[in-house]
Amino acid sequence: MIRTSRRLADGREIVYYDVDGSTAARDAPDPRDLPSVSTHSQLRWDALQGEWVVYAAHRQTRTFLPPADECPLCPTRPGRPPTEVPESDYQVVVFENRFPSLATAVDPDVPPAAPGAPYALQRPGQGRCEVVVFTSDHDRAPADLPVERLRLLVDVWADRTEALSGLDGVEYVFPFENHGEEIGVTLAHPHGQVYAYPFLPPRAARVVASIERHRAETGGDLFAEVVAAERGGPRVVASNEHWTAFVPAAARWPYELQLFPHRRVPDLPALSGAERDALADALRDALGRFAHRFDEPMNYIAAWNQAPVRRAREDWWLHLQLFSLRRAPGKLKYLAGSESGMGAFISDTTPEDVAEQLRATTW
């Protein structure tokens, strides 16, 4: 993999990733006149829930959005206004979000607590938000990318994880993809994101607590027990030499798959070459099942659950969580009172049924 780091007109980093042997120079300058990025992101502690909430009020005034008919993720091509990517073609490209929720350069003078609420601690919203563009082809769905491109993407995610894990104050690196208009995705061009959080996000924090509680109560190793049980269990959907995809025993979304590597690793950078090859295959299979379960491709969120940067790394087990809010053709699961109000998920199906459906999906 060839990695070429450049700067955009406003100082943001852009990194081109090309497979070995590529000869493109990746040196096109950004011709735009952009104001420098300013962020006033801050965190507040929700004392009753015991969770950080991010406030990125500067995102309300996104004044430099491109016109709706011009995709900012397409390459910059002659005769059209320049996009976020100066090159006229690329394989995979990553750049800092122009309106990030978390940023390396933040106002350091955040008061220690919210106005009038000493328990609502505040911190600067330090971190980084990146956009990962999967292909220069605007109309290619991720499920239809060639396996070689998915293989490159695995290397990119691993590289971004290493790079962002090294930034000051970053506690968690989260590569993810939101896919589908019906869940609010406004840019059709195939892309994902990477968030580097300055705190342990609630889901990861709950997993760490569960691991510790399980060990204290049973002496057991929770992730090892889950992987051992599910690899041979009734909810397996697909597997190859290095990965197994299964519907988790207590799935909460209408469609949900978890992909675990057979060897315990904390995060993407720890995967071997052979494991990365097998992941590209497993990913193509999983995305294909979601795309073909119904006549229309399902919306989905693909979420990499990596070990925290500084905690519980020995106890963790890397996995991808792939889930959809589509419960039937044209029908979404809405998170209403029980889910959004109380956090109690109610499913109208069973994980075993869903596994059977996804196993039977062909294309």
Helix H or strand E segment including 286: helix 273-292
Rule CB under 8 A: say whether 243 interacts with a second copy: no
CB 112 within 8 A of CB 122: yes
Rule CB under 8 A: say whether 348 interacts with a second copy: yes
Task: Using CB under 8 A, count the residues that bind a second copy.
Answer: 85
To the nearest whole angstrom, how small is the minimum distance from the Cβ of residue 81 to a second copy?
26
* Stretch of 5-13, 77-85, 89-97, 111-119 contacting a second copy, by CB under 8 A: 111-119
CB 118 within 8 A of CB 175: no
Rule CB under 8 A: say whether 341 interacts with a second copy: yes
Q: Which of 174, 243, 255, 260 touches a second copy (CB under 8 A)?
A: 174
Type of residue found at 196: A
Rule CB under 8 A: say whether 316 interacts with a second copy: no
Type of residue found at 106: V
Rule CB under 8 A: say whether 178 interacts with a second copy: yes
Rule CB under 8 A: say whether 195 interacts with a second copy: yes
* Stretch of 21-29, 145-153, 237-245, 343-351 contacting a second copy, by CB under 8 A: 343-351
Rule CB under 8 A: say whether 213 interacts with a second copy: yes
Rule CB under 8 A: say whether 207 interacts with a second copy: yes
Residues 278-297 that bind a second copy (CB under 8 A): none
Catalytically active residues, by annotation: 191
Cβ neighbours, 10 Å, residue 351: 19
Token pair listed for 99: 């309106």
**Which phi and psi angles does 150 have, rounded to 5°?**
-65, -35
Residues 29-68 that bind a second copy (CB under 8 A): 44-57, 59-60
Rule CB under 8 A: say whether 311 interacts with a second copy: no
To the nearest whole angstrom, how small is the minimum distance from the Cβ of residue 358 to a second copy?
16
Q: Which of 71, 167, 303, 359 touches a second copy (CB under 8 A)?
A: 303
Rule CB under 8 A: say whether 346 interacts with a second copy: yes
3-state DSSP of 180-248: CHHHCCCCCCCEEEEEEECCCCHHHHHHHHHHHHHHHHHCCCHHHHHHHHHHCCCCEEEECCCEEEECC
To the nearest whole angstrom, how small is the minimum distance from the Cβ of residue 244 to a second copy?
13
Rule CB under 8 A: say whether 92 interacts with a second copy: no
Q: Which of 65, 105, 249, 274 touches a second copy (CB under 8 A)?
A: 249
Closer CB to a second copy, 71 or 121, in the complex: 121
Type of residue found at 163: A
C-alpha 32/C-alpha 213 separation (Å) is: 53
Token pair listed for 340: 């959004």
C-alpha 15/C-alpha 23 separation (Å) is: 15
Buried b (16+ CB within 10 A) or exposed e, 268-278: bbbbeeebbbb
CB 312 within 8 A of CB 208: yes
Rule CB under 8 A: say whether 2 interacts with a second copy: no
Closer CB to a second copy, 88 or 338, in the complex: 338
CB 131 within 8 A of CB 71: no
Closer CB to a second copy, 147 or 249, in the complex: 249
